[in-house]
Amino acid sequence: MFKSIFRRGDLSKETNTQNSHLRVDIHAHLLPQLDDGPTDIEQSIEIIQEMYDIGYRKLILTPHVMSGYYNNTTEGILNSLQILKSTLLQQNIQMELEAAAEYYVEDNLFRLIERREVLTFGGSRQYLLFEVSFVSKVSCIIEAATKIRQAGYTPVLAHPERYISLQDKNIIERLILNGIIFQLNIGSLTGYYSKQAQEIAEFIISKNLAVFWGTDCHSYNQLQSIKQTFKLNIFQEAMKQNVLNNSLLGERLISYA
């Protein structure tokens, strides 16, 4: 009975390039003109429609917030979200949307935290998605995560497998011991970013340490590689672990899942 409320939702017709596990994406750059994602709303809609067709039902949109490069404000992000939501409604695309951000660790982030102006996801769990410089020292990442936690938020490190400084199994375990939650990029499992990132992603799965998965989607073309990942045995195995994405579904969608 719930299928009838969706424009295209017949999961019985899934092919092997569809995502039969993840209904929620927690990392996507699909708000138009805010960062290095879509350059207009038509592109955003095209990608969101495709994500609906491959099985997603809720997207948490996470534009970069990085001084000097992506000077996004909380207000600007929420305004953009409202426009996109209205457009989806007009086009009868039943994708649930929320906005958070991918915060670069810098003084601006801690100012926003102090003012309680950061955008988080997961309701009272207040997950805060953050990224660091690709040459960041481990101690700096741990220090940033500690500050985030002390402010009452739950630090979620975006794609740890992609950082060269973290491509060490002992370091990965050290980050976990410091209360950092990992969000892996789906594309890492096909070597989309690098062979090293793929190996670290596989290691993280072998230790059952991936809590969230994200597309980190910036473009329609990137989805093609993500769809390839859905076919991999290692992705299927990872989905049997303690993955929290679908716990973020709204009640209506939980009924459907």
Please identify, using beta-carbon distances, which residue of 25 and 102 lies nearer to Fe ion: 102
**Total number of residues shown for the chain:** 257
Min dist CB 148 to Fe ion, Å, is 17
Tokens coding 235:
């992705």
Min dist CB 177 to Fe ion, Å, is 25
Reference 30, options 86, 97, 91, 76; nearest CA is 97
Say how far apart CA 27 and CA 32 lie, in whole Å: 15
Reference 58, options 256, 215, 250, 255; nearest CA is 250
Please identify, using beta-carbon distances, which residue of 96 and 102 lies nearer to Fe ion: 102
Say how far apart CA 70 and CA 153 lie, in whole Å: 22
Min dist CB 185 to Fe ion, Å, is 8
Residues that bind Fe ion (CB under 5 A): 102, 216
Minimal CB distance to Fe ion: which residue? 216
Q: What share of the chain is helix, strand, coil (3-state, %, to 5)?
A: 45, 15, 35
Say how far apart CA 157 and CA 182 lie, in whole Å: 5
Min dist CB 13 to Fe ion, Å, is 31
Min dist CB 159 to Fe ion, Å, is 7
Please identify, using beta-carbon distances, which residue of 77 and 253 lies nearer to Fe ion: 77
Beta carbons within 8 Å of 32's beta carbon, 6+ residues apart: 38, 39, 40, 41, 43, 44, 80, 84
Min dist CB 254 to Fe ion, Å, is 26
Please identify, using beta-carbon distances, which residue of 138 and 217 lies nearer to Fe ion: 217
Please identify, using beta-carbon distances, which residue of 98 and 102 lies nearer to Fe ion: 102
Reference 226, options 200, 196, 189; nearest CA is 189
Please identify, using beta-carbon distances, which residue of 66 and 88 lies nearer to Fe ion: 66
